[in-house]
Amino acid sequence: MRRRAFLKTAAVTGFTAGAVAQPAKRLNFVFILIDDLGWRDVGFNGTRFYRTPNIDALAARGMRFSNAYAAAPVGSPTRASILTGKYPARHGVTNSLPGHHALDHSRLRGPDPKQFLPLEEVTLAEELKSAGYVTASIGKWHLGGIRYYPEKQGFDINIGGTDSGAPRSHVYPKWSGNPPIDGQLGEYLSDRLTRAAEDFIRSQAQHPFFLYVAHYGVHHPFEGRTDVVARYRRSIRQDDPQNNPTYAAMIENVDESVGRLVKKVEEEGLTENTVFIVTSDNGGLDAAEVDGQLATSNVPLKGGKGYLYEGGIRTPLCIFWPGVTKARSISSVPVISTDFYPTLGQMAGISRNMGRPVDGVSLVPLLQGTAPLRRTALYWHYPHYSTQGGRPGAAIRQHDFKLILWYEDQSVELYNLNADPGEKTNVAESDPARTSELKASLKKWLDTMPLEMPVSNADYDPERETEGLAQAIREQLQNGELPSPSRKPE
């Protein structure tokens, strides 16, 4: 506890322990989190319509993961897991903030999620800062109000991070209402954030740094640069479920950002000691429309953001660690957001000082190609009704199999993801032994977590069940927090 208190003091005062006499070649980290980017939204996972040449080039230089997962099907919990190494079931930020509370007639009432990442958590930024790193959070934060901003969680610099889950706009001058970035006429939001990240890299070229770039794109509001949208409009293929030119333009902009940051690192002569990580916080949003068509599609995966099916939690991930990751290497080992904390800790050589229990495991053996991971399963606990229509439940992935436990009625679904990545055939009844084994493992894990379960709702009314969700969606639409829903809650 004394160490924790010390770290908090260090974070508040800006004192950086051990900030002197660092070896010349300490690793820098550029962690790029693209909001709502779906698993199939990148070239290396098979999109045909969107173009991500810069992300693909980075993946080609390093290792990409075909079974990478977000810790939750929505953003805030995953963001908290990246920064703490803990499952949402442990850190308590279980829903996208602020979460909705209007499900008056649903079968269950979800617990109130924490409305912030508690300051007691020692974040990856705090760990790296105390080891002499300069730390910057550029872009979306979404982990609490002003008392819980990045500056309070180990980041020396916070540009554009607030309690908001979505910008008012991605397009200047409309986005100038987003605090607190100064605007430049005609500049697109992701371009502005990229410029800030480039400035940071230039200013810290002589110092080890941790740069966390959390793009507001490709989250709604769906607004692309008009010239880019127009170009994609000309290449729509009606036989492709991914055919939205606005969303394609948004992806192109964040991809360009990746390219610009790689280039800036090269210009500063830092390529040899700078690690790049590109990933997403949840699956693609396939429950909203723009220009009369779905924003994106996660096909062949099932479902999307807000769901415990693969479309909601499987994400793109590539890691380039110069001199270590083999070019064009692919890992199919299941990995999850909680793993970044111990991974970056080990890469930075500070893991021995990171003594607190985390749920993630270091991916360094996979990146080095030296050993398998010693982990048997991944777990999810999402005790809420999502605004996309997802229902409260838990899940476990062990080897090729995934079991989902629905909290409403304790029913389960079991899928062989190797044979059936689209989760079309529920094999729970035909494979009762594995079903009971995985269900028991999942329940055992749930028992070890300091979590809150949803409770039965005295006002449950199946006739009016979706009213509450509809009301929640209406409220969020009025607040500008949601795009138009195109799909009724299931």
> Which span sits near Ca ion by CB under 5 A: 27-35, 58-66, 167-175, 453-461?
27-35
Query: To 10 degrees, the CA torsion angle through 74, 76, 82, 88?
Result: -80
Q: Are 161 and 141 in contact (CB under 8 A)?
A: yes
Would you say 282 or 325 has its CB closer to Ca ion? 282
Coil vs helix vs strand at 219: coil
What does DSSP assign to residue 464?
G
Residue written as tokens 């916080």?
281
Q: Note whether 386 binds Ca ion by CB under 5 A.
A: no
Contact pick of 35, 223, 255, 465 for Ca ion (by CB under 5 A): 35
Would you say 62 or 75 has its CB closer to Ca ion? 75
Q: What is the closest distance, in whole angstroms, from the C-beta atom of residue 104 to Ca ion in the complex?
A: 26
Residue 380, strand partner residues: 395
Sequence-distant (6+) residues with CB within 8 A of 186 are 172
Q: What is the closest distance, in whole angstroms, from the C-beta atom of residue 359 to Ca ion in the complex?
A: 20
> Which span sits near Ca ion by CB under 5 A: 23-31, 202-210, 282-290, 423-431?
282-290
Q: Which of residues 58-77 bind Ca ion (CB under 5 A)?
A: 75
Cα gap 36→45, rounded to integer Å: 15
Would you say 114 or 220 has its CB closer to Ca ion? 220
Q: What is the closest distance, in whole angstroms, from the C-beta atom of residue 283 to Ca ion in the complex?
A: 9
Would you say 72 or 258 has its CB closer to Ca ion? 72
Would you say 52 or 337 has its CB closer to Ca ion? 337
Letter for the amino acid at 179?
Answer: P
Which of 283, 302, 284 is closest to 422 using CA atoms?
Answer: 302
What does DSSP assign to residue 130?
H
Q: Note whether 282 binds Ca ion by CB under 5 A.
A: yes
Q: Note whether 286 binds Ca ion by CB under 5 A.
A: no
Q: What is the closest distance, in whole angstroms, from the C-beta atom of residue 199 to Ca ion in the complex?
A: 26
What does DSSP assign to residue 115?
S
Q: What is the closest distance, in whole angstroms, from the C-beta atom of residue 165 to Ca ion in the complex?
A: 8
> Which span sits near Ca ion by CB under 5 A: 58-66, 109-117, 224-232, 277-285?
277-285
- φ and ψ of 359, to 5 deg: -90, -20
Contact pick of 281, 310, 339, 359 for Ca ion (by CB under 5 A): 281
Which of 459, 455, 479 is closest to 467 using CA atoms?
Answer: 459
Residue nearest to Ca ion (CB): 75
Would you say 36 or 156 has its CB closer to Ca ion? 36
Residue 394, strand partner residues: 381, 405
Would you say 34 or 265 has its CB closer to Ca ion? 34
Contact pick of 7, 8, 31, 36 for Ca ion (by CB under 5 A): 36
Output the DSSP codes for 435-468. HHHHHHHHHHHHHHS-----EE-TT--GGGHHHH
Sequence-distant (6+) residues with CB within 8 A of 38 are 280, 283, 284, 285, 286, 296, 297, 298, 304, 305, 311, 315, 316
Q: Which of residues 72-111 bind Ca ion (CB under 5 A)?
A: 75
Coil vs helix vs strand at 211: strand
Taking the alpha carbons of 73, 78, 79, 82 in that order, is the dihedral positive or negative?
negative
Would you say 74 or 128 has its CB closer to Ca ion? 74
Q: What is the closest distance, in whole angstroms, from the C-beta atom of residue 355 to Ca ion in the complex?
A: 31
Would you say 33 or 261 has its CB closer to Ca ion? 33
Q: Which residues bind Ca ion (CB under 5 A)?
A: 35-36, 75, 281-282
